[in-house]
Amino acid sequence: METTRSYSEARVYLFLLKVQRIYYPLLAAVAVPVCTVTIVIISRGNCGLSRCVTRYLVAMAAADFMVIILDLILRQIPISFTILPMLYLPICNVHAVLLHTATDCSIWFTVTFTFDRFVAINCQKLKVKYCTKRTAAAVLGTVTVLSCLKNITWYFTLNAQYAFLNLPWFCAIPLELLESPIWMSVEVLHYFLSPGLPFALILLLNVFTVRHIVAATRVRRRLRAHSGGVSPIDPEVVSRRKSIILLFFISWNFILLWAVFLVYTIWFRMWWLGFQSVIIPVYVQEIGFMLQLLSCCTNTAIYTATQTKFREQLMILLKYPIVLIAEFNKKMM
C-alpha cells in the first residue's frame, strides 16, 4: 500500500515537472506584457478611479511584475530547465532578499488597498483624511521600507551559492539552520507576517465591509421607498457594488492562490522539527508555487472583468500601433 502510494506520488510529481517546463515560460510570456500594460493603463489615470486607488493598483501591479522577474524568470524557469551556469554565481542570498522583499510588497500592498477601501466604505469621517494620494504614497513607501528591513535577515542566514532546490528558500541552506529552534522562530515569524497575517486581516476587513454595505444598502432602499423614488436604479448602490466587486476579486484571488503554498510551507517547517504525524506529498509544493505565481498576473483579468473604463483604455492601447501604421501609410502616400 505504501509502495503504491509512493509510486503514484512520484508519477504525479514527475508529471508536474514536465508541465512546469511549458507552464512557467508560457506564464512569463503572458505575465510580463500583461503587468506592463496594466501599469501603463492605470498610471495614465483614465480608468475613472481616484488618485488614491490608482496609486495602490499601480504599486500592486509593479510589485507583481518584480515577483515575475525575480521568482518566475530568475528562479523557477532556471530550476525547471536546470540552467547550471547560475550555480557559479554566488549571489543567491542577494536574490533571496530581493525576491522576498518583492513578494512581501505584493502581499502587503493588497492588504493596504483592502484597508483603504474599508476606510472609504465604512469610515466616512476618516475617509477625507486617509483616502488621499499623499497618504497612499506614505503607506506604500513605509511598507516597502519595512519589507526590505524584514527580509535582510535572509542575506545573513542563507548561503550565497545557488542550490537549485525548488524549496521556499532555493539557496544552499546550512543543515544546522533547519534544526535550530532560533531559526525556526525567525522563519515562523517571517511566514506569519507574510502571508499568514495578511490572510487574517483581509478576511476580517472583508467581513466588516460586507456587513456595512449590506446595512447601508437596506437603509437607502427604505429611504428611497419612503420618498417615493421611481427610478429602480440607485447610482450610489451601483457604485458601491462595483467597488466591492473589485475589492473582493483582488482579495480572494490572493487568498485562494496563496493558500496551498502557505499550508505546505508551514507543514515543511513542522516536519523538520519532528511533527511528522501528517504527510503531504511533495507535488503539493509544486502546485503551490504554480498557483502563487499565477496570482501575480491575474489582477489584470480582474480589472478587465470588473472595470468598463479599463477595458476601454485597453482597447485604445491595443489599437494604437494600428493607428500609427495607418497614419504613416497616409503620409507616405
Each residue of 178-197: pLDDT tens digit? 777 777 777 778 878 888 89
Q: Do 242 and 150 meet the contact criterion of CB atoms below 8 Å apart? A: no
In a domain, 325, yes or no: no
In Å, how far from its chain's centre is CA 96? 17
The answer to whether residues 102 and 60 touch, using CB atoms and an 8 Å cutoff, is: no
Our count of domains for the chain comes to 1
Helical spans, DSSP H, in 171-307: 175-178, 181-191, 197-227, 235-272, 283-294, 299-306
Instruction: Give the residue among 211, 204, 310 at the shortest CA–CA distance from 255.
Output: 204
3-state secondary structure 26-81: HHHHHHHHHHHHHHHHHHCCCCCCCHHHHHHHHHHHHHHHHHHHHHHHHHHHHHHH
Q: With respect to residue 331, please indicate whether it lies within any of the assigned structural domains.
A: no
The most distant pair of C-alpha atoms in the chain lies apart, rounded to whole Å, by 77
Q: Does 332 fall in a domain? A: no
Helix (H) or strand (E) holding 325: helix 308-332
The whole domain housing 106 covers 15-225+232-320
Q: C-alpha grid cell for residue 102? A: 518583492
- Smallest CA-to-CA distance from 117 within 38, 204, 206, 249 is with 206
Residue 5 covered by a domain: no
Residue 310 resides in a domain: yes
Digit-by-digit pLDDT tens for the chain (333 residues) are 556 667 788 888 889 989 999 999 999 999 998 889 889 988 888 888 888 989 999 999 999 999 999 999 989 998 888 765 566 678 888 999 999 999 999 999 989 988 998 898 888 889 889 999 999 999 999 999 999 999 998 898 888 888 777 776 788 777 777 777 777 777 778 878 888 898 889 888 888 887 887 777 777 777 766 665 545 566 666 666 776 777 778 778 888 888 888 888 778 777 766 666 777 888 888 999 999 899 887 876 676 667 778 888 888 888 887 877 777 677 766
**Helix 2-43 × helix 51-67 angle, to 10°:** 140
d(C-alpha 186, C-alpha 193), whole Å: 11
Q: Which residue from 157, 140, 160, 146 is spatially nearest to 59, judged by alpha carbons?
A: 140
326 part of a folded domain: no
> CA-to-CA distance for 218 and 202, rounded, in angstroms?
24
Which residues sit opposite 171 in a β-bridge?
162
Instruction: Look up residue 208 and give its three cell numbers.
Output: 466588516
Exposed, middle or buried: residue 187 (CB in 10 Å: 0-12, 13-18, 19+)?
buried
325's CB contacts (< 8 A; 6+ apart) are none
Residue 222 corresponds to which amino acid? R
7 falls within a domain:
no
Please spell the DSSP secondary structure of 199-221, one letter per residue.
Answer: HHHHHHHHHHHHHHHHHHHHHHH
Could you tell me if residue 117 is inside a domain? yes
What CATH number is attached to the domain comprising 155?
Answer: 1.20.1070.10
